[in-house]
Chain A
Amino acid sequence: MPDTVGEVSKGLADHEYLADEGLATSIFLALRLQRPLLLEGEAGVGKTEVAKVLARWTGGELVRLQCYEGIDASQAVYEWDYSRQLLHLRAVEASHEQVDEDELYSERFLVKRPLLRALAHDGAVPPVLLIDEIDRADDEFEAFLLEILSDWTISVPELGVVRAEVPPVVVLTSNRTRDVHDALKRRCLYHWIAHPDFERELAIVRLRAPEVPELLARDVAAAAEALRGLELYKPPGVAETIDWAAALATLGRARLDEAAVDATLGTILKYREDQERARAHGLAQLVRAAVARGA
């Protein structure tokens, strides 16, 4: 359990995640107050990464629940292994014994899905529960989730109540395709992850893609920042910047140049209209400005 925000920043940086002070504070509070953390932001800014790094840092297991529309308790919490149950019934019947319902609904046939796994965890270190893209799930699931996040208990009717002695560290991510319900937001601490500034993005690229030469990394970070100012349909996120830098390094470039940008534009801009807009703006001009900025 960290004592200061600084400890959190250092711990995350040791595991290759550079968090700004705001994010580090939110994570610190989430750990100390034992509240879930809701991370919102555009695609590619590193929301899911936070949970992965937290798991690496704290040493807890990462339990991931990927949400989608229509997800319900049977996919999220638990399900009975029906096929095995039916086979068991047949086997019992073949040996002419009586069918015992308790035996049928026992731990042996219980398939534990992420939420139950996170709560029933009995290791020393609490697991990190990542609930990814909660905005894709529907309202019914959110209401159900809220109940679990408030009480940290799940009741399986046939088996009993499962309670977590130490609540897991919960990280929820959302792309904001719709507003997450107020009740759920109230339960969580909230942080909006924005695109990083030039210095931080440069530091991230250097950390995540160390094979990229220093000057190329500077150019790429400057170019990405410039592209974000171009009013694109989908401004590039940090993940795309890292990919782009790695791609250029693979092609053997030491600095950014127009031909290379033209060839690798699809790595950083994923919409045809965005690529057209960047070309209309002028790739040569983009490169010149980036090199000037990065120097």
Chain B
Amino acid sequence: MSVRRLTVQLASVLAVLLFAGPLAAQQTYTITGRVLAGGTGNAIQGAQVLLRGTNAGGTTNNAGAYSFTLSAAPGLYTLEASFIGRETVAQEIELGAEETVRVPDIELRERALELEAVVVTGTAAPTARRAIGNAVSTVSARELESTPATTIDQALQGRVAGAVITSNTGTPGGGVSVRLRGTSSITGGAEPLYIVDGVIIDNNADQQLNLGYRSNSSNRLADLDPNDIERIEILKGAAAAALYGSRANNGVVQIFTRRGRIGEPEITVSSRFGRSELIKEIDFALTPVDLAGNPVQRFDPQDVIFRDGSQMEHHVSLSGGGGDTRYYLSGGYVEDNGIMRGAAHDKLNVRMNVDQGLGNFQLSAGANYIRSNTDLVINGEQGEGGLLTAIVFTPTTTDLTARNPETGELLNTAFVFPNPLEVLDLWDIGQNVNRFVGSLQGRWAPINNVNLEYRLGYDNYQMETTQFIPRGTATAPTGRSVSLNRYSTLLNNDLLASVQWGLGGTALTTSGGMNATYLWAQNLNATATDLGPVTQLVSGANMSASQGKVETSTLGFFGQQQVGWADRIFLTGALRMDASSTFGPDERWQMYPKISGSWVLSEEPFIRDRAGDWLTQLRLRGALGYAGNQPPLGSAYSRFSRYGTTINIDRIGLVPLAESGNPELKPERQREYELGFDISTFDDRVALAFTYYNQYTRDLLLPRPFAPSTGVGSVLDNVGELSNRGIELQLNTVNVRRGGFGWTSTLIYSRNRNRIEKLEGDPYFVGYGNRIEEGLPLGVLYMTGFRRDSVTNAILSDSIGPLASLTRVVVGNPWPEWTGSLSNEFTFGSNWSASFMLDGQFGHELWNQTRRIQDIFGAGPLYDQLLRGEITAAERTRHQAIWENYVEDASYVKLRQLALRYNTRGDWLRNIGASALQLELLGRNLYTWTDYSGYDPEINMFGLNTVERGVDFAVYPNARVYTLGVRLTY
């Protein structure tokens, strides 16, 4: 077919669509009915009901009931009811003379495997899961709701096969690190790309210099409100993510927020109140003697800094829709007073999502405003003002609370670090964020099966971190006031076009598009010392300021062709061309191809006939793809050889930076293939999804150090290679569904093996000892170990105690060998439901620097042994010098969450104007099974840092949380 003819045909179809009027006599109908859970007969709330061939439909309320009106010509229609995690059921109805049509109850059975669910992420056009060759994880709102987590990434813990999700810190508002299928970079970012409703958002973890540097990592994903989330789709590797080009090496997480549905306006009001507590206390040296054996008083400093925390969360939403308009409005407020004194966080979140249909054009707009305030407590490596840091550095003979009875001033202030009470009393450290995320999408379907879509995304935030220390402290005798500001804008443009067509018995979907992303960020910092009176602002006799800006821009084009035969065999091929300003002009344009296939074997006659009822569904899938990774923002200009300023007797001069430019800089490039199958049996009650993946990343960006005689320090270069291989397994079962009782389980298992395949130059280590060496996993713990016999491997000792190794050796791996989770959900009748989840990580080590510092400074358990005369002073010194002594197995299992819910639609609710009430009791981190001696084995002190992991150094621990919640629906 020539292009000209196609155009003419398109135009005529268009004309018909635009100008065709109503053809038959219309009548108004009201359609009502109920959607219930198959087996248990419980009401399903939120099920979608649609009359095929019309725009009309509705959503079920708490009673499972729906009702909508439309005008239509009489005749036979098909009503379709669907709900996530359940089968979709179509029911014939007849619209006749009766104005009110009562539809019989529709029952939707739970399915362990959802081949029909539609996936949007990375597919160019919405595609049924059966047609996709790569594993896509989805997490529903229902799963997110059953955890009292205030951030999305916390709520994802234990939900996604192949993901290692670790809290960086328990600080209220603190961040979480997410690694999908291992780490595939050394200097670049290793966190996935985050997308909200089609728009890339910023997940920066800028720690703003020296206020909590390298210890209090929060990332900007924490700004989003989990209450607004409808669904999350997770693509784990290059094979799935090729459509995101040079930013997709680490996978893609797409978050869909709630949108309005056609039907009566629905208002929900929910509140949660929680109490949090320290999971456990660690051992301090409290034997009340000194080294000479004389009695002394010793103090447990944990009493000084920990407390019981409290949480409060309120959320209001209004949603609905009529005609061509749908809307969702919400407001949320969270307040979290942490388990460490002085730690507090509050966050206000306002969202508006509006969808407006205009014939075959649909416009969607989303706006999200976030404002958060955090009272920071500093910990970890940051000594200045650190609370936990201070107490592990203080001998237990010190009474931190002792005050001069006359002046009330603290007596004990001069230690390695300031007295935590001085910090709590006098210092003021805070962080506030103002953020707006907006999106605008236009979708135009000029004719059937042709879709054009444009998306504009805008993510803008300002973050300010402040520190105020009044005059008169040892840390800053003349006082200090600091204001660190980060401004960031991320702009995102997407253009997509797709056509669905056929050729004989073949279904074809052709799509193409482009994407342009622009990021602009600025740091503006001001500091004052020698402060004036009263004001806490940056105002003093001595002031300084600095500024830095960065811009990056990425442009990409892609095309994709999907072919389907008999709705059973699908092949998809895609190609993306991508360019980024970060890279040199000659290497800028990179091509990322992908190909994937899916074969629904169970629908092949030769299988179906033999397997019979035993096999419900079976699908084989496989994918091969390439994606890239860009260096972090700090290297946005590494392709240039640049000069920095210097001073010679107050005159400004220029000298070359130690880092020289690399005009041939290009992205890290990953090849991934994955193979897997989905199978469900026993009437769709047991489903297993299995995936094997193999990632190989080349051109890793590393600073290549030069011989100093060149005058060059280093050049960022594409020099390394590493691999990740692993399997993911997910078993969903519907254990019981009868007599009002339902029980479903999900078991997730995943393992990953990471290996540095090639490294130019010598192995090295970063931080305390995360080794980068060819043939080893990335960042293994590399520290002074026990000296061992080279043959028998027995630890060598002398008369004092064990000997230290002569050089650093590999003493542990911070990456778990495998991770797993088990979730169970129960429903009892139509009122009660319960769920719990266990999750764990196994076979990895943490270096407990907290305990080591305690021991060195006369506060730890080893020192206690010395006080009790169990070891000699020389032996103690020996033990402290061997870092391997402090490397501990960090395997754990956590009772991550437990939820008990009561739902009612009692008539008495009408008296307060409500239609449904839900009461819930939730618990998080209720119990931890672990041999780890520190506060919490789930610690990742360096946040999103790619290589530095496995170090526990006075990190704010995660809390155990009990929450009581109530939700009213009107």
Chain A partners chain B: no
Chain A residues engaging chain B, CB cutoff 8 angstroms? none
